[in-house]
Amino acid sequence: MTSAPMPTAATGPPGPVRIIVADDHQVVRAGFAALLDTQPDFTIVATASDGNEAVRASRELNPDVILMDVRMPGMDGIEATRQLAGPDAAGPHVPRVLILTTFDLDEYVYEALCAGASGFLLKDVTAERLFDAVRVVAAGDALLAPSVMRRLISEFAHLRPTASRHRPTALATLTPRETEVLRLIAEGLSNPEIAARLVVSEETVKTHVSRILGKLGLRDRTQAVIAAYESGLVVPGRGS
């Protein structure tokens, strides 16, 4: 998979970004924690060896970002993500979850994103990309460039049941222009590209995106792409 440009992070949380690293391999866990701890705007508040530890630590320490492995003993990373960042997550503070994965685990990425993750990182990520990813997600943006997200969703959407796909009632609350913007987001267009396609300003596109997220009860662009595919608004593998 070709690396895509990272989005530019907006204003992040006040003070250092508080991070938990969850991975069942001690060397990997310690390595990521030590690397992140070199940055003056990051603070490692805990590490966890499985999903249960990650959930407990998160509810106690209220981190901004969790780096979450998928395969862990006991509770796996997807279930831990669902409990901490999913639609039914309890508590006033919802952390951003970055899934740690390898190429041979890509089939889990779609499920993790549906569970509430804001994106994913490969375990062989460079230090610079790791730092950028944490800052982007902490600022409230989706990690993945839209084109990368579109390829992932197109490839793995078949893992979800398709027989019961119906356009959610919430999508009916979108205006025709908002529906068009959502479709373009799912097709992999960035805000500047959407602005050019619709012949409007980038600020107008940002306003539309904000309203779409609000109406659909979504936290970021990643979840908007998933909603577009799951609703049938965009069909995987079919060109626009």
pLDDT of residue 226: 79
pLDDT at 178: 96
User: How many Å is the Cα radius of gyration of the chain?
Assistant: 17
The CATH number of whichever domain residue 178 belongs to comes to: 1.10.10.10
- Among 9-13, 17-21, 172-176, the range scoring the smallest mean pLDDT is 9-13
Q: Does one domain contain both 174 and 94?
A: no
pTM value > 0.95: no
> What's the whole-number mean pLDDT along residues 175-194?
88
Neighbour tally for 232: CB within 10 Å = 13
Q: What is the pLDDT of residue 2?
A: 36
Does some domain include residue 118? yes
Instruction: Give the sign of the dihedral formed by CA 122, CA 210, CA 62, CA 113.
Output: negative
Is 5 among the domain residues?
no
pLDDT score at 24: 93
Q: What pLDDT does 163 receive? A: 39
- Our count of domains for the chain comes to 2
Give the residue with greater pLDDT, 213 vs 235: 213
Query: Considering only 85-89, 162-166, 234-238, which range has the smallest mean pLDDT?
Result: 162-166
> What is the C-alpha separation between 37 and 230, in angstroms, rounded?
38
For residues 46 and 67, membership in a common domain is answered with yes
What local confidence, expressed as pLDDT, does residue 30 receive?
Answer: 95
Q: Residues 140, 202: one domain?
A: no
65: helix, coil or strand?
strand
* CA-CA-CA-CA dihedral for 24, 25, 30, 35, to nearest 10: -100
Q: Is residue 58 part of a domain?
A: yes
Q: How far apart are CA 55 and CA 209, in angstroms?
A: 31
At 3, is the pLDDT very low, low, confident or very high (cuts 50, 70, 90)?
very low
Structure tokens at 110: 């779609």
Q: Within a domain: residue 90?
A: yes
26 and 93 both lie in a single domain: yes
Give yes or no: residues 117 and 167 share one domain: no
Residue 6 lies inside a defined structural domain of this protein = no
Q: Is position 9 within any domain? A: no
Same domain, 172 and 140: no
Element (H, E) at 81: helix 77-85
What would the pLDDT profile of 92-110 be if each residue is shown by its tens digit? 678 999 988 775 555 676 7
Residue 236 lies in a domain: no
Exposure letters 88-115 (e unless 16+ CB within 10 A, then b): ebeeeeebbbbbbbeeebeebbbbbbbb
Residues 22 and 115 in one domain: yes
pLDDT, one tens digit per residue, over 47-60 is: 999 999 999 999 99
Which of 111, 144, 177 is the endpoint of a domain?
144
Asked if 147 and 112 count as a contact pair (C-beta separation under 8 A), the reply is no
The mean per-residue pLDDT over the stretch 175-180 comes to 95
What tens digit of pLDDT does each residue of 106-138 get?
567 677 777 888 877 888 888 998 998 899 888
Between 75 and 1, the more confident residue is 75
Strand order in the sheet with 42-48: 42-48, 17-22, 65-69, 96-101, 119-122
Question: 210 and 105 share a domain?
Answer: no
Is the CB of residue 6 less than 8 Å from the CB of residue 129? yes
Residues 132 and 174 in one domain: no
Contact 66, 54 (CB under 8 A): yes
Residue 205 lies in a domain: yes
What CATH number should be reported for the domain holding residue 91? 3.40.50.2300
Quick one: 84 and 120 in the same domain? Answer: yes
Is residue 50 domain-shared with residue 131, that is, in the same domain?
yes
pLDDT tens string 131-161? 988 998 888 766 665 545 655 665 655 555 5
Q: Which two tokens stand for residue 232?
A: 């049938």
> Lowest-pLDDT range, 63-67, 69-73, 183-187, 229-233?
229-233
Domain span at residue 135 reads 17-144
Give residue 43's pLDDT band: very low, low, confident or very high (50, 70, 90): very high
Domain boundary among 97, 118, 144: 144
